[in-house]
């Protein structure tokens, strides 16, 4: 199996910029938001044939499809049709929404090319199918190593490690208050916080449907999010305390550190966004070596030019009291990062 590395993190931590930099390396296949796109459904605990595996990775992601239908696309949605509201934008295949447009200007053409190959594959485990898919894409683009990066992904570590025991992990993180502030301004993370509130109020399982009684127990501003399409104003206009995003950041970082700490030490490393900004050549060289590729001088030049430090320290512009509250909410995550070394 090819060298595979998963970059995991809270989201809004600079990892999208890292995906762009990784994609610029001639030896690395950069799989942008692959697992976010296909979800846990693409790792069933049973053997599947190529036709079923294709459905698992190509059928539209229900939550993302709902966002597109509702006219609430996020910057991560790269397929051109994602900006079209309603039926015109609906039904984008999971692979085509974020992963394939990162690799090519013709994601639909590549999707059809892959479909013709994948659907012929024999019955085998899902990880074996994924490994073959990665191989096909590496051959297609002339790459040697695979680096997958999804935001909001630290919770996936146990499942990914079980499926790919030899894979490596990079935990990317960003200053807590800055990251939480960025989350508060991002439609996807605002929706995540509201979905968590729905689960907390109803006691429903994260992946399960709500009963009619549970839906009726919700206030209208939350129940409306269960409609397809829903009104984007329910997400974008609702007041959500910034401190709640600080608590979310702490939870996500602490969870990722806990999962990674259970892996063999040689299989994971950390990458602070601020370190990448302060010493890009050093950090990119270190990460390239971890990926198993050479830190090519031209690639280092390109990577340095891609970084933008303008959003660093944005939380420092908050009113002092609000910043102090946010820092208190981020403190558990900060402590978890310190304890992890």
**Which pTM was predicted?**
0.97
- Residue 9 phi/psi, 5-degree rounding, is 180, -175
Sign of the alpha-carbon torsion through 104, 108, 113, 119: positive
Instruction: Determine the pLDDT at residue 40.
Output: 94
Per-residue pLDDT of the chain (341 residues; tens, 9 = 90+): 689 999 999 999 999 999 999 999 999 999 999 999 999 999 999 999 999 999 999 999 999 999 999 999 899 999 999 998 888 899 999 999 999 999 999 999 999 999 999 999 999 999 999 999 999 999 999 999 999 999 999 999 999 999 999 999 999 999 999 999 999 999 999 999 999 999 999 999 887 889 999 999 999 999 999 999 999 999 999 999 999 999 999 999 999 999 999 999 999 999 999 999 999 999 999 999 999 999 999 999 999 999 999 989 999 999 999 999 999 999 999 999 999 97
What are the domain boundaries of the chain?
Answer: 28-143
Q: How many residues does the chain have?
A: 341
- Beta carbons of 24 and 302 less than 8 angstroms apart: yes
Task: Return d(Cα 21, Cα 153) in angstroms, integer.
Answer: 19
212 Cβ contact list (under 8 Å, min separation 6): none
Q: Which of 116, 83, 112, 85 is nearest to 96 (CA)?
A: 112
Instruction: Determine the pLDDT at residue 47.
Output: 98
Instruction: Determine the pLDDT at residue 1.
Output: 63
Distances (CA, A) of 19 to 33, 80, 110, 204: 9, 19, 20, 34
Partners of 270 in beta bridges: 171
Instruction: Determine the pLDDT at residue 2.
Output: 86
Partners of 268 in beta bridges: 169
Task: Return d(Cα 45, Cα 39) in angstroms, integer.
Answer: 14
Helix segments in the chain, DSSP class H:
15-23, 34-38, 50-58, 62-69, 94-97, 99-103, 107-118, 126-141, 157-163, 176-184, 187-202, 212-216, 220-223, 233-236, 242-261, 273-278, 280-291, 297-306, 320-340
């Amino acid at each position: 199996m090819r060298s595979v590395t998963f970059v995991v993190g809270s989201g809004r931590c600079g990892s999208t910029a890292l995906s762009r930099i990784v994609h610029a390396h001639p030896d690395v296949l950069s799989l942008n938001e692959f697992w976010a796109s296909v979800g846990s459904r693409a790792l069933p605990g049973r053997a599947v044939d190529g036709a079923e595996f294709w459905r698992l990775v190509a059928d539209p992601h229900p939550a993302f499809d709902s966002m597109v239908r509702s006219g609430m696309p996020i910057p991560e949605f790269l397929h051109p049709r994602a900006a079209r509201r309603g039926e015109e934008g609906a039904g984008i295949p999971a692979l085509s929404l974020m992963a394939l447009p990162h690799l090519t200007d013709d994601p639909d053409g590549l999707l059809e090319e892959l479909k013709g190959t994948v659907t012929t594959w024999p019955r085998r485990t899902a990880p074996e199918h994924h490994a073959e898919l990665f191989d096909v894409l590496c051959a297609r683009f002339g790459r040697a190593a695979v680096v997958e990066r999804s935001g909001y992904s630290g919770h996936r570590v146990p499942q990914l490690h079980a499926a790919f025991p030899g894979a490596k992990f990079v935990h990317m993180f960003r200053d807590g208050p800055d990251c939480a502030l960025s989350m508060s301004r991002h439609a996807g993370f605002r929706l995540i916080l509201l979905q968590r509130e729905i689960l907390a109020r109803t006691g429903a399982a994260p992946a399960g449907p709500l009963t009619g009684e549970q839906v009726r127990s919700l206030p209208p501003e939350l129940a409306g999010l269960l409609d397809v399409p829903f009104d984007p104003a329910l997400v974008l206009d609702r007041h959500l305390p910034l401190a709640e995003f600080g608590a979310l950041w702490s939870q996500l970082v602490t969870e990722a550190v806990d999962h990674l700490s259970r892996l063999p030490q040689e299989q994971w490393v950390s990458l602070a966004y601020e370190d990448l900004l302060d010493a890009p050549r050093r950090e990119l060289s270190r990460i390239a070596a971890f990926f198993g590729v050479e830190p090519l001088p031209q690639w280092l030049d390109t990577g340095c030019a891609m970084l933008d430090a303008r959003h660093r320290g944005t939380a420092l512009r908050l009113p002092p009291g609000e910043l102090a509250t946010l820092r208190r909410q981020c403190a558990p995550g900060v402590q978890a990062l310190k304890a992890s070394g």
